Amino acid sequence: MENQNVVTMPRIGDPAPDFKAMTTQGMIQFSEFIKDSWVILFSHPADFTPVCTTEMTGFALREDEFTKLNTKLIGLSIDSIHSHVAWVNNVREKMGILMKFPIIADIDMKVSKLYGMLQPGESETAAVRAVFFIDPNGKIRLIMYYPLNVGRNMDEIMRALLALQAADKYKVALPLNWQPGEKAIVPPPKTIDEMEERLKSDYEMIDFYLAKKPIG
Ligand code: BEZ
Protein backbone atom coordinates (compact mmCIF):
# COMPACT_ATOMS: atom_id res chain seq x y z
CA MET A 1 0.00 0.00 0.00
CA GLU A 2 1.19 3.52 -0.78
CA ASN A 3 2.58 5.37 2.22
CA GLN A 4 0.54 8.59 2.52
CA ASN A 5 3.22 10.16 4.73
CA VAL A 6 5.97 10.04 2.13
CA VAL A 7 6.74 13.57 0.97
CA THR A 8 8.68 14.00 -2.24
CA MET A 9 11.11 16.88 -2.06
CA PRO A 10 13.04 18.33 -4.98
CA ARG A 11 16.73 17.56 -4.84
CA ILE A 12 19.86 19.11 -6.26
CA GLY A 13 20.00 18.25 -9.96
CA ASP A 14 16.21 17.93 -10.35
CA PRO A 15 14.25 20.16 -12.72
CA ALA A 16 12.60 22.94 -10.69
CA PRO A 17 8.92 21.93 -10.36
CA ASP A 18 6.70 24.26 -12.35
CA PHE A 19 3.67 26.03 -10.89
CA LYS A 20 1.32 28.94 -11.45
CA ALA A 21 0.86 31.29 -8.50
CA MET A 22 -0.36 34.71 -7.46
CA THR A 23 2.42 37.08 -6.36
CA THR A 24 2.82 40.71 -5.39
CA GLN A 25 3.74 41.28 -9.05
CA GLY A 26 0.68 39.46 -10.42
CA MET A 27 0.18 35.91 -11.63
CA ILE A 28 3.31 34.03 -12.67
CA GLN A 29 4.04 30.74 -14.39
CA PHE A 30 7.32 29.74 -12.77
CA SER A 31 8.85 28.15 -15.91
CA GLU A 32 8.23 31.46 -17.75
CA PHE A 33 9.68 33.44 -14.86
CA ILE A 34 12.93 31.43 -14.98
CA LYS A 35 13.42 31.97 -18.75
CA ASP A 36 17.24 32.11 -19.17
CA SER A 37 17.88 33.65 -15.73
CA TRP A 38 19.22 32.28 -12.51
CA VAL A 39 16.42 32.33 -9.93
CA ILE A 40 16.59 32.35 -6.15
CA LEU A 41 13.29 31.11 -4.71
CA PHE A 42 13.11 31.63 -0.95
CA SER A 43 10.39 31.06 1.61
CA HIS A 44 9.78 32.80 4.90
CA PRO A 45 7.48 31.59 7.70
CA ALA A 46 5.16 34.60 7.98
CA ASP A 47 4.66 38.25 7.08
CA PHE A 48 4.93 40.84 9.88
CA THR A 49 7.40 38.75 11.88
CA PRO A 50 10.77 40.10 12.99
CA VAL A 51 13.34 37.63 11.63
CA CYS A 52 11.50 37.45 8.29
CA THR A 53 11.50 41.22 8.04
CA THR A 54 15.28 41.36 8.50
CA GLU A 55 15.75 38.67 5.86
CA MET A 56 13.35 40.05 3.27
CA THR A 57 14.76 43.55 3.57
CA GLY A 58 18.21 41.95 3.26
CA PHE A 59 17.18 40.51 -0.11
CA ALA A 60 15.60 43.82 -1.18
CA LEU A 61 18.74 45.82 -0.33
CA ARG A 62 20.85 43.56 -2.55
CA GLU A 63 18.39 43.01 -5.39
CA ASP A 64 20.42 45.19 -7.79
CA GLU A 65 23.51 43.03 -7.16
CA PHE A 66 21.49 39.91 -7.96
CA THR A 67 20.09 41.54 -11.12
CA LYS A 68 23.65 42.28 -12.31
CA LEU A 69 24.35 38.55 -11.89
CA ASN A 70 21.39 37.68 -14.17
CA THR A 71 19.51 36.46 -11.10
CA LYS A 72 15.84 37.04 -10.25
CA LEU A 73 14.53 36.89 -6.70
CA ILE A 74 11.16 35.49 -5.70
CA GLY A 75 9.87 35.07 -2.15
CA LEU A 76 7.05 32.94 -0.74
CA SER A 77 5.01 32.48 2.39
CA ILE A 78 1.72 30.90 3.36
CA ASP A 79 0.05 34.30 3.66
CA SER A 80 -2.58 36.02 1.55
CA ILE A 81 -1.78 38.54 -1.15
CA HIS A 82 -3.45 41.21 1.03
CA SER A 83 -1.09 40.41 3.89
CA HIS A 84 1.93 40.57 1.56
CA VAL A 85 0.88 43.93 0.12
CA ALA A 86 0.22 45.37 3.60
CA TRP A 87 3.61 44.10 4.86
CA VAL A 88 5.50 45.44 1.83
CA ASN A 89 3.84 48.82 2.42
CA ASN A 90 4.55 48.72 6.17
CA VAL A 91 8.25 47.93 5.60
CA ARG A 92 8.50 50.73 3.01
CA GLU A 93 6.90 53.21 5.45
CA LYS A 94 8.86 52.15 8.54
CA MET A 95 12.23 51.26 7.00
CA GLY A 96 12.25 52.99 3.61
CA ILE A 97 12.95 49.69 1.85
CA LEU A 98 10.75 48.49 -1.00
CA MET A 99 10.54 44.73 -1.63
CA LYS A 100 10.16 44.92 -5.41
CA PHE A 101 10.69 41.23 -6.12
CA PRO A 102 7.53 39.11 -6.37
CA ILE A 103 6.34 37.37 -3.22
CA ILE A 104 4.13 34.30 -3.75
CA ALA A 105 0.89 34.19 -1.75
CA ASP A 106 0.90 30.43 -1.13
CA ILE A 107 -2.28 30.40 0.89
CA ASP A 108 -3.23 26.87 -0.29
CA MET A 109 0.36 25.65 0.44
CA LYS A 110 0.61 24.24 -3.09
CA VAL A 111 4.09 25.58 -3.83
CA SER A 112 5.38 25.01 -0.28
CA LYS A 113 4.44 21.35 -0.55
CA LEU A 114 5.87 21.04 -4.06
CA TYR A 115 9.23 22.36 -2.82
CA GLY A 116 9.38 20.60 0.55
CA MET A 117 9.16 23.91 2.39
CA LEU A 118 6.53 22.59 4.80
CA GLN A 119 8.39 20.51 7.34
CA PRO A 120 5.82 19.45 9.95
CA GLY A 121 8.39 18.68 12.66
CA GLU A 122 9.22 22.39 12.57
CA SER A 123 5.78 23.81 11.76
CA GLU A 124 2.49 22.48 10.32
CA THR A 125 1.38 25.89 9.15
CA ALA A 126 4.42 27.92 8.17
CA ALA A 127 7.11 27.30 5.57
CA VAL A 128 10.65 26.87 6.86
CA ARG A 129 13.32 29.27 5.59
CA ALA A 130 14.24 27.55 2.32
CA VAL A 131 16.46 28.88 -0.45
CA PHE A 132 16.47 27.22 -3.89
CA PHE A 133 19.11 28.24 -6.44
CA ILE A 134 17.83 27.45 -9.94
CA ASP A 135 19.98 27.83 -13.04
CA PRO A 136 18.93 29.28 -16.42
CA ASN A 137 18.15 25.74 -17.64
CA GLY A 138 15.61 25.34 -14.85
CA LYS A 139 17.71 22.90 -12.84
CA ILE A 140 17.94 23.07 -9.03
CA ARG A 141 21.61 23.60 -8.19
CA LEU A 142 21.74 24.31 -4.45
CA ILE A 143 19.24 24.10 -1.59
CA MET A 144 19.41 25.62 1.90
CA TYR A 145 16.93 24.97 4.70
CA TYR A 146 16.93 26.98 7.91
CA PRO A 147 14.55 26.58 10.86
CA LEU A 148 12.04 29.21 11.93
CA ASN A 149 14.23 30.71 14.62
CA VAL A 150 17.51 31.23 12.72
CA GLY A 151 17.88 33.85 10.01
CA ARG A 152 19.88 33.18 6.85
CA ASN A 153 23.18 34.80 5.86
CA MET A 154 22.91 37.08 2.84
CA ASP A 155 26.67 37.08 2.24
CA GLU A 156 26.60 33.27 2.05
CA ILE A 157 23.64 33.33 -0.34
CA MET A 158 25.57 35.74 -2.58
CA ARG A 159 28.79 33.70 -2.25
CA ALA A 160 26.99 30.47 -3.12
CA LEU A 161 25.49 32.06 -6.24
CA LEU A 162 28.88 33.42 -7.34
CA ALA A 163 30.45 30.02 -6.68
CA LEU A 164 27.83 28.22 -8.80
CA GLN A 165 28.29 30.71 -11.62
CA ALA A 166 32.10 30.47 -11.44
CA ALA A 167 31.96 26.65 -11.35
CA ASP A 168 29.91 26.67 -14.57
CA LYS A 169 31.93 29.34 -16.36
CA TYR A 170 35.41 27.99 -15.60
CA LYS A 171 34.58 24.26 -15.18
CA VAL A 172 36.14 24.20 -11.73
CA ALA A 173 35.13 23.41 -8.17
CA LEU A 174 35.37 25.84 -5.29
CA PRO A 175 37.03 25.02 -1.99
CA LEU A 176 36.06 25.66 1.60
CA ASN A 177 35.27 29.32 2.25
CA TRP A 178 36.01 30.28 -1.37
CA GLN A 179 35.51 33.96 -2.14
CA PRO A 180 35.39 35.67 -5.54
CA GLY A 181 38.93 36.50 -6.71
CA GLU A 182 40.43 33.43 -5.05
CA LYS A 183 41.88 30.40 -6.82
CA ALA A 184 39.62 27.51 -7.80
CA ILE A 185 40.14 23.76 -7.70
CA VAL A 186 40.92 22.07 -11.01
CA PRO A 187 38.96 18.81 -11.39
CA PRO A 188 41.20 15.85 -10.48
CA PRO A 189 42.79 13.83 -13.31
CA LYS A 190 40.88 10.73 -14.40
CA THR A 191 43.67 8.82 -16.12
CA ILE A 192 47.32 8.05 -15.39
CA ASP A 193 48.34 10.20 -18.37
CA GLU A 194 46.32 13.14 -17.03
CA MET A 195 47.91 12.60 -13.62
CA GLU A 196 51.41 12.72 -15.15
CA GLU A 197 50.45 15.92 -17.02
CA ARG A 198 49.07 17.41 -13.84
CA LEU A 199 52.32 16.76 -11.96
CA LYS A 200 54.18 18.73 -14.66
CA SER A 201 51.67 21.64 -14.59
CA ASP A 202 52.28 24.97 -12.93
CA TYR A 203 49.10 24.78 -10.85
CA GLU A 204 49.41 25.46 -7.12
CA MET A 205 49.46 21.84 -5.95
CA ILE A 206 49.36 19.87 -2.72
CA ASP A 207 49.36 16.73 -4.85
CA PHE A 208 47.97 15.85 -8.27
CA TYR A 209 44.41 15.50 -6.93
CA LEU A 210 44.40 18.84 -5.08
CA ALA A 211 45.45 21.56 -7.50
CA LYS A 212 44.33 25.17 -7.76
CA LYS A 213 44.44 27.77 -10.51
CA PRO A 214 43.45 31.43 -10.77
CA ILE A 215 40.15 32.18 -12.53
CA GLY A 216 38.52 35.31 -13.86
C1 BEZ B 1 10.28 35.54 12.69
O2 BEZ B 1 10.44 35.77 11.50
O3 BEZ B 1 10.65 36.31 13.55
C4 BEZ B 1 9.65 34.24 13.09
C5 BEZ B 1 8.67 33.69 12.32
C6 BEZ B 1 8.09 32.50 12.69
C7 BEZ B 1 8.50 31.87 13.86
C8 BEZ B 1 9.52 32.42 14.61
C9 BEZ B 1 10.11 33.62 14.23
Percent of the chain with pLDDT over 90: 95
The verdict on whether 52 is a catalytic residue reads yes
Tell me how many degrees the CA angle 152-155-156 measures, rounded to the nearest 5: 65
Residue 5 has pLDDT above 90, yes or no: no
Percent of the chain with pLDDT over 70: 97
Name the segment(s) of the chain with CATH classification 3.40.30.10: 20-152
Nearest-angstrom CA–CA distance, 76 and 41: 8
Output the pLDDT for position 143: 98
Output the pLDDT for position 215: 97
49 CB near ligand 1 (under 6 Å)? yes
Residue to mutate, 42, 49, 119, 124, ligand 1, most ligand atoms under 8 Å from C-beta: 49
Output the pLDDT for position 57: 98
Lateral strand order in the sheet of 204-207: 184-185, 210-213, 204-207
SS3 140: strand
Average pLDDT, the chain: 96
Output the pLDDT for position 216: 85
At the topology level, CATH places domain 171-216 in Antioxidant, Horf6; Chain A, domain 2 (3.30.1020)
Q: How far is the CA of 160 from the centre of ligand 1 (A)?
A: 24
At the topology level, CATH places domain 20-152 in Glutaredoxin (3.40.30)
50 CB near ligand 1 (under 6 Å)? yes
Name the segment(s) of the chain with CATH classification 3.30.1020.10: 171-216
Nearest-angstrom CA–CA distance, 207 and 195: 10
Output the pLDDT for position 4: 59
Tell me how many degrees the CA angle 185-187-190 measures, rounded to the nearest 5: 150
Output the pLDDT for position 2: 54
Render pLDDT for 66-119 as a digit per residue (tens, 0 to 9): 999 999 999 999 999 999 999 999 999 999 999 999 999 999 999 999 999 999
Residue of 123, 126, 149, 162 lying closest to 40 (CA atoms): 162
Output the pLDDT for position 48: 98
Output the pLDDT for position 3: 57
Pairing verdict, β 71-77 and 38-43: parallel
Output the pLDDT for position 8: 79
Render pLDDT for 197-207 as a digit per residue (tens, 0 to 9): 999 999 999 99
Render pLDDT for 137-164 as a digit per residue (tens, 0 to 9): 999 999 999 999 999 999 999 999 999 9
